[in-house]
Chain A
């Protein structure tokens, strides 16, 4: 269980003005929950995710995982990056092995494990290709396989499908669902897309900007497993209602923001 308490962070921008990235966030992520974080650009989603990952410091508040305070990255968490963050000089196999290698897993064992995951994400036959030879969707499959290879309890994903085309994105969503349904780990998934947030999440956390705060948490009552009938889900009344509600909220945030800008 991830518990976030009164988390605050203020950055100083280049010109010296303070940027209130997070203004007192409280959030609890349950074990084996798929939580999606949705909000306008600049509301602090990435910042918060990096804090959970232990990559970024904060000013006030606490983050604990199963009662232990986060002080840095740990083997219980791994992260999938929007820009994939693959090593361009390494093959698919070596990229997937990367985390295991850093942790000192012996070669045979890590390649076996990597092979399993490469098969799971449907990249068999591409083991010795380099990232430059793969499409965006394939590259992110490598990113997901790499994150899962180390057997994390928590998977942190920052707009993992933000840089791929719409069709690939839908395929990857379905794949992620079916992977998650098989081994339910805790996922915190940042996205810009209301549809994606609802389709994937057990709960959608809606954030507002300046300072970044949680404005609403929406339960998604859609039944699981969802991967088998994504199309049906998307036509269901609940799905339509929740996405419409989220858009109403987001749109009012955007117009509020515009009003504030206008007053300035």
Chain B
């Protein structure tokens, strides 16, 4: 469709313009406009807490080489790694069980639906009351953020497996264990990987939220600290760094998904 609408006009113009009329050009153009807009806003309306684009970029370098940043980074990611690992360890088996046993699935369905839309951040006060401000409560929150997404996707994956594949395996005399190993698990693998990727996104969100809303420490703590000391450029630099980490992690997960389940129809459907 796209090629049809722009191919004819293309040929009618000089070659130089054609080469410029490419996705990359527009991508860069957007970024440039955004940076210029930011620069103008920061310069004329910014005030104390809104740095300009150039100030932020300049602050990025010292921030990224400071020991303070990397210490905070390690502390944050501790909770992320532990919490996400727990979410996978809990979520995948739970999703499989729910996908397999119809009654359990029907009983749990209403709770999963509630958990999917419930802002998990609202249970932060309860977490603080029960386990305090330590690493454990951060880990628990990260796990809670990620686990529902994983369960829901794994369950869907198991349930989506084409029933005729199971019948086919039966005609060759497959028993229950073989059906699991040969059909259900490989069949659900793409969805399991999708669940893990989306769960990772949620885990990063949980990591940030817990530090911004519950314990002001690590990366979230830095944000609040810089905000308090009106250090706009450093504040923005930390935010950029967190976003960058999220993007890197998710892209890695996406790459892994494509590597592990290359037969699946295009990974990376918008769902969250």
A contacts B directly (C-beta below 8 A) = yes
Give A contacts to B, CB under 8 Å: 50, 53-55, 73-75, 77-79, 81, 83, 85, 87-90, 98-99, 101-103, 130, 132, 150, 156
* Additional A-B contact list (19), CB under 8 Å, known A73-B173, A78-B171, A130-B263: A50-B167, A55-B167, A55-B170, A73-B170, A73-B171, A73-B172, A75-B173, A78-B172, A79-B171, A81-B167, A81-B168, A85-B165, A85-B168, A87-B183, A87-B186, A90-B186, A98-B169, A102-B173, A102-B174
Chain A residue numbers with a CB within 8 Å of B165 are 85, 87
- Say whether, besides A89-B263, A132-B263, A102 and B172 are in contact (CB < 8 Å): yes
- Say whether, besides A81-B164, A83-B164, A98-B182, A89 and B261 are in contact (CB < 8 Å): yes
Which residues 156-188 in B have Cβ within 8 Å of A in the complex?
Answer: 162, 164-165, 167-174, 178, 182-183, 186-187
Closest to B168 in A: A85
Q: Is the CB of B263 within 8 A of A77?
A: no
Chain B residue numbers with a CB within 8 Å of A83 are 162, 164
Q: When chains A and B are docked, how far (Å) is the Cα of A13 from the Cα of B12?
A: 62
Q: When chains A and B are docked, how far (Å) is the Cα of A99 from the Cα of B172?
A: 5
Chain B residue numbers with a CB within 8 Å of A132 are 263
Chain B residue numbers with a CB within 8 Å of A53 are 171
Report 7 cross-chain contacts, Cβ distance below 8 Å, ordered by A residue: A55-B170, A73-B172, A89-B186, A89-B261, A99-B172, A103-B172, A150-B172
Q: Is the CB of A85 within 8 A of B164?
A: yes
Q: Is the CB of B167 within 8 A of A74?
A: no
Q: Is the CB of A79 within 8 A of B168?
A: yes
Q: When chains A and B are docked, how far (Å) is the Cα of A99 from the Cα of B183?
A: 12
Chain A residue numbers with a CB within 8 Å of B171 are 53-55, 73, 77-79, 156
Q: When chains A and B are docked, how far (Å) is the Cα of A89 from the Cα of B162?
A: 13
Chain B residue numbers with a CB within 8 Å of A87 are 165, 182-183, 186
Chain B residue numbers with a CB within 8 Å of A130 are 263
Q: Is the CB of A102 within 8 A of B168?
A: no
Q: Does B189 sit at the interface, judged by CB under 8 A?
A: yes
- Tell me how many residues of B have a C-beta within 8 Å of chain A: 19
Chain B residue numbers with a CB within 8 Å of A78 are 171-172
Chain A residue numbers with a CB within 8 Å of B187 are 89
Closest to A152 in B: B171
A128 to chain B, nearest CB (A): 13
Q: When chains A and B are docked, how far (Å) is the Cα of A126 from the Cα of B178?
A: 26
Contact residue among A79, A102, A150 (Cβ-Cβ distance under 8 Å from B182): A102
Q: Is the CB of B164 within 8 A of A102?
A: no
Q: Is the CB of A89 within 8 A of B189?
A: yes
Chain A residue numbers with a CB within 8 Å of B263 are 88-89, 130, 132
Q: Point out which of A50, A90, A102 has the most chain B C-beta atoms below 10 A from its C-beta.
A: A102
Q: When chains A and B are docked, how far (Å) is the Cα of A75 from the Cα of B174?
A: 11
- Say whether, besides A77-B171, A78-B171, A150-B172, A85 and B261 are in contact (CB < 8 Å): no
Q: When chains A and B are docked, how far (Å) is the Cα of A75 from the Cα of B172?
A: 7
Closest to A150 in B: B172
Q: Point out which of B164, B173, B186 has the most chain A C-beta atoms below 10 A from its C-beta.
A: B173
Q: Is the CB of B261 within 8 A of A74?
A: no
Q: When chains A and B are docked, how far (Å) is the Cα of A85 from the Cα of B186?
A: 14
Closest to B162 in A: A85
Chain B residue numbers with a CB within 8 Å of A81 are 164, 167-168
Q: When chains A and B are docked, how far (Å) is the Cα of A99 from the Cα of B171?
A: 9
Proximity bits, B247-272, A CB within 8 Å = 1, else 0 = 00000000000000101000000000
Chain B residue numbers with a CB within 8 Å of A89 are 186-187, 189, 261, 263
Chain B residue numbers with a CB within 8 Å of A103 are 172-173
Q: Point out which of B167, B171, B172 has the most chain A C-beta atoms below 10 A from its C-beta.
A: B171
Chain B residue numbers with a CB within 8 Å of A90 are 186
Q: Is the CB of B169 within 8 A of A102?
A: yes
Chain B residue numbers with a CB within 8 Å of A77 are 171
Chain A residue numbers with a CB within 8 Å of B174 are 102
Q: Is the CB of A74 within 8 A of B173?
A: yes
B178 to chain A, nearest CB (A): 6
Which residues 112-136 in B have Cβ within 8 Å of A in the complex?
Answer: none
Q: When chains A and B are docked, how far (Å) is the Cα of A130 from the Cα of B186?
A: 14
B164 to chain A, nearest CB (A): 4
Chain A residue numbers with a CB within 8 Å of B172 are 73, 78, 98-99, 102-103, 150
Closest to B163 in A: A85
Closest to A77 in B: B171
Chain A residue numbers with a CB within 8 Å of B186 are 87, 89-90
Chain A residue numbers with a CB within 8 Å of B189 are 89
